[in-house]
Amino acid sequence: MEPVDAARWQFAIVTVYHFIFVPLTIGLSPLVAIMQTAWLVTGKAHWLRLTKFFGKLLLVNFAIGVATGIVQEFQFGMNWSEYSRFVGDIFGAPLAIEGLAAFFVESTFLGLWIFGWDKLPRKVHLACIWLVAVATNLSAFFILAANSWMQHPVGAIYNPETGRAELDDFGAVLLNNTLWAAYTHTIATSLLVAGTFVTGVAGWLLVREVRAGRVDLARTVYRPAALLGLVTIVVSGAGVAASGDWQAKLMFEQQPMKMAAAEGLCETQTGAGFSILTVGDLSNSCEGVIHLIEVPGLTSYLATGDFAGRVDGVPELQEYMAERYGAVDAAGEEINYSPNLALTYWSFRLMIGFAAGSALLALAALWLLRKKGSVTDKRWFARLCLIAIPTPFLAASFGWIFTETGRQPWVVVPNPTGVDMVRMLTSDGVSSSVSIAEVITSLTVFTLLYGVLAVVWVKLMTRYASHGAPEVEPPPDPDDADSDRPLSFAY
């Protein structure tokens, strides 16, 4: 194993692990804000109970997400110091703004929300959780601004004297069409994750309470939560489909090799079909690949808007890129410009396949809860709720695996219509001073530590979720209370 391989493994493991928590935090924070808003507007106690209940789960998820996210920042300066040296002027700007303008706001107002239940005026306290939701989504925007720049660099110039990329137009970085497609897709996906989580947890508790004879509790508390999650699934599911189509069309234009690999296109085709099942050797040799099941013309439509459109295959794109960017690297070895075809092909399909779990849960919930005030005691629905909860998490993770591994061997993908010289191969971005032994040691430590954190996260989430929504008294209005009352921890 080369140092670049170990460094890639470490970054992949840390990133995918961290991203497990990210979409739930992004999507659940506005849902908790909606629940608290419903309580403040209607005065109905069940919305307060749901706010406290899902708010606690949000806090657990947020805490572990923050702890695992910090590690990623250090890797850029350690394992990937050559990458940071080359593009740090551009890449560091949105990450710095994310920390100063988004994460600090998010953390500050989350603290006020936790401790200010009986101290802050109710409308001010409600504004705190909404600011958390806004800041969380703003944080995602700036992080994706950095990532999307790597996928499609804009607003930069190459300085031949320093051998570095330099920021030329920060506005172009923030207006990058790759960023806006990725951002809308990520936010829609996060809401899908949160909607499935709320529906799954509420649906399981609803069945449990009905079977225990507490039908009124199921109807007044968990049914509204399940319906809120159901609406979120339907709306966000449409958003995922629309934004995914937008993103796919951009990828066919900006990263044609990624999309050719995703479809296992081993030759240029007109009217290329969307492959459902492919057999053969999906290695980089691209030999003996047969599409057993496919939807005729769909890939061409996704790429060009025309069912008979032309889509270039992997061998033709390899020849084109070798001619444009060089056939050999600095060490004299031949450069393979196609990613791992099997990984790219199957991660793309697993992303779509696991997302179907949310759709199945939505259909079942819509049918069982379609009548006004209806609840259910079906065991199969409770099981479906538990099975469906992790499916959008897995879909989101495979989506990032597809996005990041599909652009290999580039860490900064060239933009031939813009800043073509601002590009970098992954092998050129790894640190030259960090040994493979050091990377493997830190990788082992992180894997063990994250394994422990995973157990803690699962135990805390399942414990608090199984307890159900607690009985709570509405907090006193601070305007009518003792002004000297200290802030108190609400959980």
DSSP string computed for 210-279: HHTT-HHHIIIIIHHHHHHHHHHHHHHHHHHHHHHHHHHHHHHHH-HHHHHHHHT--S-EESPPEEEEEE
Using the 3D structure, point to which of 293, 313, 338 is the last residue of a domain: 338
Amino acid at 268: T
Let me know whether 328 and 469 are in one domain: no
CA atoms within 13 A on the CB side of 434: 24
pLDDT in 10s for each residue of the chain, 491 residues? 788 888 888 888 888 888 889 999 999 999 999 999 999 999 999 999 999 999 999 999 998 888 777 777 777 778 888 999 999 889 888 988 888 878 888 889 999 999 998 889 999 999 999 999 999 999 999 999 999 999 999 999 999 888 899 998 999 999 999 999 999 999 999 999 999 999 999 999 999 999 999 999 999 999 999 999 999 999 999 999 999 989 988 988 899 999 888 888 888 888 888 888 877 767 666 777 777 788 888 888 888 888 888 888 888 998 999 998 888 877 778 888 989 888 888 899 999 999 999 999 999 999 999 998 899 999 999 999 999 999 999 999 999 999 999 998 999 999 988 777 889 999 888 888 888 888 888 888 888 888 898 899 999 999 999 998 888 777 776 665 554 555 555 55
Distance, in Å, from the CA atom of 88 to the CA atom of 81, rounded to the nearest integer, reads 9
Let me know whether 138 and 160 are in one domain: yes
Let me know whether 399 and 303 are in one domain: no
Using the 3D structure, point to which of 281, 315, 338 is the last residue of a domain: 338
Kindly state whether residue 33 falls inside one of the protein's structural domains.
Answer: yes
Q: Are 86 and 165 in contact (CB under 8 A)?
A: yes
Total number of domains in the chain: 2
Let me know whether 280 and 428 are in one domain: no
Kindly state whether residue 488 falls inside one of the protein's structural domains.
Answer: no
Neighbours of 307 (CB within 10 A): 16
Let me know whether 24 and 119 are in one domain: yes
**Residue 302: which domain range?**
256-338
Partner residues linked to 281 by β-bridges? 287
Structure tokens at 413: 């993908």
Q: At what angle do helices 341-368 and 390-405 cross, to 10 degrees?
A: 150
Let me know whether 129 and 37 are in one domain: yes
Structure tokens at 195: 């909607």
Let me know whether 262 and 208 are in one domain: no
Let me know whether 403 and 320 are in one domain: no
Q: Are 173 and 155 in contact (CB under 8 A)?
A: yes
Kindly state whether residue 251 falls inside one of the protein's structural domains.
Answer: no
Let me know whether 236 and 168 are in one domain: yes
Q: Are 364 and 381 in contact (CB under 8 A)?
A: yes
Kindly state whether residue 491 falls inside one of the protein's structural domains.
Answer: no
Q: Are 302 and 248 in contact (CB under 8 A)?
A: yes
Kindly state whether residue 295 falls inside one of the protein's structural domains.
Answer: yes
